[in-house]
Amino acid sequence: MDTFPAEKIQAASSGLRAIAHELRLAILCHLSGGPLTVSELLARTGANQSNLSQHLAKMRMLGVLDCERRGQQVTYRLANPAFAQIAEALKAIYCASDTEQNSGDPAACPNPSPTQRSTP
Amino acid sequence: MDTFPAEKIQAASSGLRAIAHELRLAILCHLSGGPLTVSELLARTGANQSNLSQHLAKMRMLGVLDCERRGQQVTYRLANPAFAQIAEALKAIYCASDTEQNSGDPAACPNPSPTQRSTP
DNA sequence: AAGTTATATTATCTTATTCTAATATTGTCA
DNA sequence: TGACAATATTAGAATAAGATAATATAACTT
């Protein structure tokens, strides 16, 4: 996959920023099952009202969520169902059925590593 | 999709944070086509060497990339092929074939919006 | 060993995120 | 109209992320 036009990268990274936060990802996951009102999200996430509202606003402004008011309740939904696929991919990565994920040292790498010659 | 265990959300959001940046997303896209050396990434992204290295380090520490040194070159690759799916999903969202994406005001919403009664 | 290439690390400054608390809007109902 | 419920907004302080420049390390070459 190299065909991601450079001009779109900026927009896409904004979209990612919109969900790259513990609470906002939780919101995404909950909304992947269908629209929910703020109260429902409040109950499911256990978040602080003001804080939740701010995060919802950010997700909306960054184009991840749409919302609609009905009386005094506001319902939020994914602006694009493909956002749920991102949650799916994450689940595949972080909820692998195996016992453990990656046994290696996360920081292990380049300079510290032992020499490996390309032409032994 | 509500079956994303709460304990995993934190790890997953770290993974997202690792790619929620213009340059890091570009790196992900380039590596989706297969492993590349730092020099190759340097050429393709046009980034500053020090900066690129720091972003690669962050992606590695957050578990998105693996790397391996061969002589004086270091090759980076996706730690999990499923990360490429995220790039695919983003492409679906942000590179829709239609002329334009979402024509609505991104900020339009709740309080500012006109009344809609639930029982008209 | 000295020079050179490839890459990583550190330091610092600037800017952006995030949380909390307080307050404001909007809509409903008695 | 006045109280209440649902949600949004603002302001401020604390923390994190980012860019740049300078320097360090590691491996190769002569």
Strand segments (E) across B2-119:
36-37, 65-70, 73-78
Q: Which band of pLDDT confidence, cut at 50, 70 and 90, is reported for residue A119?
A: very low
| pLDDT at residue B120, as a whole number | 29
Could you read off the pLDDT of A15-74 as tens digits, one per residue? 999 999 999 999 999 999 999 999 999 999 999 999 999 999 999 999 999 999 999 999
Which range has the worst mean pLDDT, A49-63, A103-117, B4-18? A103-117
Residue nearest to nucleotide C27 (CA to C1'): A72
Q: What percent of chain B has pLDDT over 90?
A: 73
Tokens of B8: 């995993």
> Which CA distances in Å does B54 have to B24, B48, B59, B97?
10, 10, 9, 34
| Alpha helices in chain A, H assignment, sequence order | 6-19, 22-32, 38-45, 49-61, 82-94
Q: d(Cα A89, Cα A71) in Å, to the nearest integer?
A: 36
Q: In this structure, is the CB of residue B36 within 7 Å of any atom belonging to strand C? A: no
Number of domains comprising chain B: 1
* A112 domain-assigned: no
Residues having Cβ less than 7 A from any atom in strand D: A 37-39, 42, 49-50, 53-54, 56-57, 67, 72-74, 111-115, 117-118; B 17, 20-21, 23, 48, 50-51, 54-55, 58, 69, 71-72, 109-112
| CA nearest neighbour of A61 among B104, B14, B36, B22 | B104
* B88 domain-assigned: yes
* A81 domain-assigned: yes
Q: Which band of pLDDT confidence, cut at 50, 70 and 90, is reported for residue B3?
A: confident
Tokens of B33: 């086509």
Residue B119 has pLDDT above 80, yes or no: no
Tally of CA atoms within 13 A in the half-sphere of B74 that contains its CB = 18
* A53 domain-assigned: yes
* B107 domain-assigned: no
* B64 domain-assigned: yes
φ/ψ (deg, to 5) at A77? -150, 165
Q: Which band of pLDDT confidence, cut at 50, 70 and 90, is reported for residue B6?
A: confident
Better-predicted residue by pLDDT, B59 or B96? B59
Residue B11 has pLDDT above 70, yes or no: yes
* B120 domain-assigned: no
Better-predicted residue by pLDDT, B77 or A96? B77
Question: Which range of residues forms the domain containing residue B42?
Answer: 7-94
* B65 domain-assigned: yes
Q: What percent of chain A has pLDDT over 90?
A: 73
Q: Which band of pLDDT confidence, cut at 50, 70 and 90, is reported for residue A86?
A: very high
Could you read off the pLDDT of B13-51 as tens digits, one per residue? 999 999 999 999 999 999 999 999 999 999 999 999 999
CATH number, domain with residue B12: 1.10.10.10
Residue B108 has pLDDT above 90, yes or no: no
- What is the residue whose two structure tokens read 């009905």? A70
Residue B83 per-residue DSSP state: H
